[in-house]
Structure 1
């Protein structure tokens, strides 16, 4: 018996050894992990798990594919493509050599369409809960989910999940959400629930797309720009549920939120809901009249209850401002973010910085001047431009060109949809609306913008400070929103075009502002929405704005400059697609304030960045083939375009 057991065990041992030997003898081209390690060891000389132009390897690697065919891969771009493909392809899949040699624009666009959008998609339900509840800005282990007071179906569903998700805490919000309540729960941060469907009587959270990187929440204006890219890529389904989630937020939280986190409950974001509904209508022939009606009702509700509420966001000029309600310091910022400003007040109260912050945070010490500063700061964050010297310390006092352009577009979009979808008759809660009413509102707004914001001498719109009753002569990308909204006369459009190229067009695209850094204080923080940085939403709006007025050639130049910046950085830096760029130096190496989300990853970027992805897809859809070919060759834009306009 012992002999039989010994022989059996010996036989198993021999089998194990034989299998191990076979694995050791397995050809390297069938073992992607082995190839990946070999490639990294040779080419990733700085050890960041990427192959970039900064690595000092030989930049040539012999690669044998699944069929035993040998290829010599050379250069940063193709080597980084090989690295990416090895990282995402299993041993049983063949490496597609065409993906390694793929033209840059085709590769970036393909990955956005087939990989990035899916990786950015979330849902708040059993399937997506763990991912969504993550918050890198929170130090607590508790995963807190806030449910609107009237959403009883959600409360019932998520309470059943608390046994399965041990760290989950379900909190029902009060019927009335006040700034005092929000301040009270700032130490208990969590996610705010979004819309859901009941599919076969099963609760399913409606999908939404997040910006990228550390973000797992749905952001306000990001969602509109992402939806532009989604519609181009045939994902109208995602664009539509983004609108449904906007409607849910208005119904249950009173506004489209800065993002669906508890500490954003007192803030909205730049209004793009009407634009989203209109884009879906124009680009999705399958959209139903009922869907448009439901969402248009909520667009009108948001317009009337959020933006046109006197004394809050509607000012005595008849124009609007951003106004982030709330108490104390915005809690979502990183530790130390406000130290530059708070030091002044600590000295004023003869306290150390840490002592002052603790007392102010707990409201043991109240400083009305500092409270006013934070009202402006929250308003600046509501504007989406967090942060900018243009708005710092003054935002709540401004009728901004950008906001009033967006609300003008609300008024004309609502008129358009009522006329073209509902035969000029639309009813909301017993109130009947015709397109003429909304066109009159738009005309009145345009008139006041021209009176208060248009500067004939400078040939520009400027933000208007209604407290001191003066224009603020700062040149920013938002000054040119009237082009996108269709507010300008032909003459205004012509001089705006000249001013845009003279002041904001840089080598790599449009900068957020001219250089408005405080030159008198070397310690003044650089603001990420200011010069020299450029952002996707500004590019997208101004491209379309210029084309609206017939400036197609100029728009194509700006598209090329921006896409060249994205493409060049992706080619040279392992596919990197971040949230913003320094458009003066045309680089993703931006270190202002929060760094640059989307630059930290291993082997392959999982998702790029939402509105950056969308800007790429929109830009490619508008760029003629000859410029696309030049883009694939990374030809410097200054070699293509004359500088007569710059």
Structure 2
């Protein structure tokens, strides 16, 4: 299933002459502040006033924005918490300040029962339907994106039915893959109702849009993130039993269909090798890649993308924009993992890579669907058969993907799982911590899992935990940085394959780093420098952020499990 996008012209914050003027003049150091702003009047009225006033000698764009938008503060204020608290008590006390309701905007009303909402309007803006790149995207019309009762949009937030935890800092909305790690922490903190409500939010997004957007903002309408919805359901199953999961299996099937949409267009024997998020390997097996349905600068990083594009010829810029957006869908924005030249972001080629983590996670989703559909009486698997027929199909799909992972994504010389470049028909010659995800989802061969463990100990283990990659590119998803979600997937994956010794060592080092940094700063950070065991991890597109949802979640989950 491929959703339509929003009509960006309804949102002066993310499209049109006013948007470009604000971003190109650099009114805000962080361009995300403007795309997150709330209109103080109707979009049509704001446009009308801007067009009427902009050529007047006394026109001042700063004053115009101040008069017509409520712009969020540069960084959300730190909550007023007791400085004498331990790290664990601090994390527990942060759940409430980081929780938002109904999209996180005070102007948003309830979105049920046909009530009016300051939310997005489903329209017919565009998405790409093939691998050809143009300056305008084409439309594949098979459903409305955001069909709901709304009045004119004032905010770029997409309303959600239940309270939810946001990361913090500049990230004022929910994020897909962040939320799984946050939910693990909520479960460990006896906040199960909040965790279950967040799962229901993602069910609502799938029901409305056919997939989970990267975040609940209009400008994230064309990309998702690492599809960890099935892992959220695993948390519910663990804490509340299969009865809590059964109503949501259909939503998981729908999300899986989004990732597999396009596979019928593939032909490994001479026809198209890729379509949307699907790729045909040389033997005909279908695997997946990251993608974005738009080939243009990101509204939230408009200046940065435009500046980057000056490094390539004009005709190559749409593909550059798509590869940048696809890297954002991966969550690893940015990393040498996606670059042909590890030090040059303009060499990005995300859509040419079949990532090991994405395919290992989809193996996990296929395995979960096979298990749960087999247990769901009367479920037809979405095509008229019975639940057992659907379960068998997903089990077969999981087997095929596991075989592909072992055949194409394994580096025998270095004993590690790696990405696969489908355009070059060879594994990518870079080791990254994404190689632990087959252990996390159970896709790894046991002997190879042991080899991965040894490689982690030899090359990735640092004083503060596991380093993200072995390259120092200056990008934030590279050395010397470490990230909470990767520590969690490594620890859980190693435990799954009975390598508790190394898992415990990683968890202890990561928790000690978090604790030391907290005692020095009173804060929890988005990422850390694991080589120097400090909080001073500041590479990337934006300054270091504090809060921080997934860091807090993994501190709580690791503390509960060690």
1:129: which partner in 2?
A: 105
- Structure 2 residue 406 is matched with structure 1 residue 430: no
Query: How far is 1:189 from its partner?
Result: 8.9
- Structure 2 residue 68 is matched with structure 1 residue 120: no
Query: How far is 1:252 from its partner?
Result: 1.9
Q: Distance in 2 between matches of 1:236 and 1:258?
A: 23
Which sections of structure 2, spanning at least 5 residues, go unmatched?
1-77, 129-135, 140-152, 264-274, 340-347
Greater radius of gyration (CA): 1
2:298 aligned to which of 314, 323, 330? 330
Deviations 1:473-524 (A, max 9, x none): 111010121111112222101111111122211111111100152xxxxxxx
Q: Distance in 2 between matches of 1:189 and 1:319?
A: 39
Q: Distance in 1 between matches of 2:88 and 2:159?
A: 30
1:552 aligned to which of 484, 489, 500? 500
- Structure 2 residue 531 is matched with structure 1 residue 584: yes
1:320 touches 1:404 (CA, 8 Å); kept in 2?
yes
Q: Secondary structure at the match of 1:496?
A: helix
1:395: which partner in 2?
A: 350
Q: Distance in 1 between matches of 2:531 and 2:520?
A: 17
Q: Distance in 1 between matches of 2:126 and 2:168?
A: 29
Deviations 1:364-404 (A, max 9, x none): xxx33111111111111100111112114111011111100
2:554: which partner in 1?
A: 615
2:280: which partner in 1?
A: 316
2:396 aligned to which of 432, 440, 445? 440
Q: Distance in 2 between matches of 1:406 and 1:427?
A: 20
Q: Secondary structure at the match of 2:420?
A: strand
2:527 touches 2:535 (CA, 8 Å); kept in 1?
yes
Query: How far is 1:423 from its partner?
Result: 6.0
**Compared with structure 1, are the counterparts of its residues 129 and 598 closer, same or farther at alpha carbon in structure 2 (3 Å cutoff)?**
same
Query: How far is 1:546 from its partner?
Result: 0.3
2:180 touches 2:229 (CA, 8 Å); kept in 1?
yes
2:73: which partner in 1?
A: none
TM-score using structure 2 length: 0.73
**Compared with structure 1, are the counterparts of its residues 515 and 240 closer, same or farther at alpha carbon in structure 2 (3 Å cutoff)?**
same
Query: How far is 1:336 from its partner?
Result: 3.8
Q: Secondary structure at the match of 2:280?
A: coil
**Compared with structure 1, are the counterparts of its residues 458 and 370 closer, same or farther at alpha carbon in structure 2 (3 Å cutoff)?**
same
2:181 aligned to which of 216, 225, 228? 225
Query: How far is 1:247 from its partner?
Result: 1.6
**Compared with structure 1, are the counterparts of its residues 450 and 181 closer, same or farther at alpha carbon in structure 2 (3 Å cutoff)?**
closer
2:246 touches 2:372 (CA, 8 Å); kept in 1?
no
Query: How far is 1:157 from its partner?
Result: 2.6
1:507: which partner in 2?
A: 463
Q: Distance in 2 between matches of 1:397 and 1:190?
A: 35
- Structure 2 residue 100 is matched with structure 1 residue 109: no
2:210: which partner in 1?
A: 254
Q: Secondary structure at the match of 1:315?
A: strand
1:487: which partner in 2?
A: 443
Q: Distance in 1 between matches of 2:213 and 2:423?
A: 27
Q: Distance in 2 between matches of 1:516 and 1:338?
A: 24
2:223 touches 2:329 (CA, 8 Å); kept in 1?
yes
**Compared with structure 1, are the counterparts of its residues 553 and 443 closer, same or farther at alpha carbon in structure 2 (3 Å cutoff)?**
same
- Structure 2 residue 160 is matched with structure 1 residue 211: no
1:76: which partner in 2?
A: none
Which segment drifts farther, 477-486 or 251-260? 251-260
2:119 touches 2:154 (CA, 8 Å); kept in 1?
no
**Compared with structure 1, are the counterparts of its residues 561 and 171 closer, same or farther at alpha carbon in structure 2 (3 Å cutoff)?**
closer
Deviations 1:176-207 (A, max 9, x none): 76466999xxxx994343343xxxxxxxxx11
Paired residues, what number? 441
Deviations 1:208-227 (A, max 9, x none): 11111122211010011100
2:355 touches 2:419 (CA, 8 Å); kept in 1?
yes
- Structure 2 residue 474 is matched with structure 1 residue 474: no
1:191: which partner in 2?
A: 156
1:556 touches 1:622 (CA, 8 Å); kept in 2?
no
1:323 touches 1:375 (CA, 8 Å); kept in 2?
yes
**Compared with structure 1, are the counterparts of its residues 222 and 375 closer, same or farther at alpha carbon in structure 2 (3 Å cutoff)?**
same
**Compared with structure 1, are the counterparts of its residues 249 and 440 closer, same or farther at alpha carbon in structure 2 (3 Å cutoff)?**
same
Q: Distance in 2 between matches of 1:327 and 1:430?
A: 37
Query: How far is 1:561 from its partner?
Result: 0.8
Query: How far is 1:171 from its partner?
Result: 4.8
Query: How far is 1:622 from its partner?
Result: 2.4
Aligned Cα RMSD in Å?
Answer: 2.8
1:405 aligned to which of 360, 370, 385? 360
Q: Secondary structure at the match of 1:332?
A: helix
Deviations 1:505-552 (A, max 9, x none): 1111111100152xxxxxxxx110111111111000010000001111
Q: Distance in 2 between matches of 1:598 and 1:301?
A: 33
Query: How far is 1:584 from its partner?
Result: 0.7
Structure 1 segment 516-531 matched on structure 2, within 5 A: 516-517=472-473, 526-531=474-479
Q: Distance in 2 between matches of 1:189 and 1:170?
A: 7
2:219 touches 2:299 (CA, 8 Å); kept in 1?
yes
Q: Secondary structure at the match of 1:319?
A: strand
Deviations 1:567-593 (A, max 9, x none): 0011122x2111000111111112212
Q: Distance in 2 between matches of 1:383 and 1:451?
A: 22
Query: How far is 1:175 from its partner?
Result: 6.3
**Compared with structure 1, are the counterparts of its residues 563 and 189 closer, same or farther at alpha carbon in structure 2 (3 Å cutoff)?**
farther
Deviations 1:612-644 (A, max 9, x none): 001111221222xxxxxxxxxxxxxxxxxxxxx
2:311 aligned to which of 344, 347, 350? 344
Q: Distance in 2 between matches of 1:308 and 1:446?
A: 20
**Compared with structure 1, are the counterparts of its residues 516 and 189 closer, same or farther at alpha carbon in structure 2 (3 Å cutoff)?**
farther
1:302: which partner in 2?
A: 255
TM-score using structure 1 length: 0.64
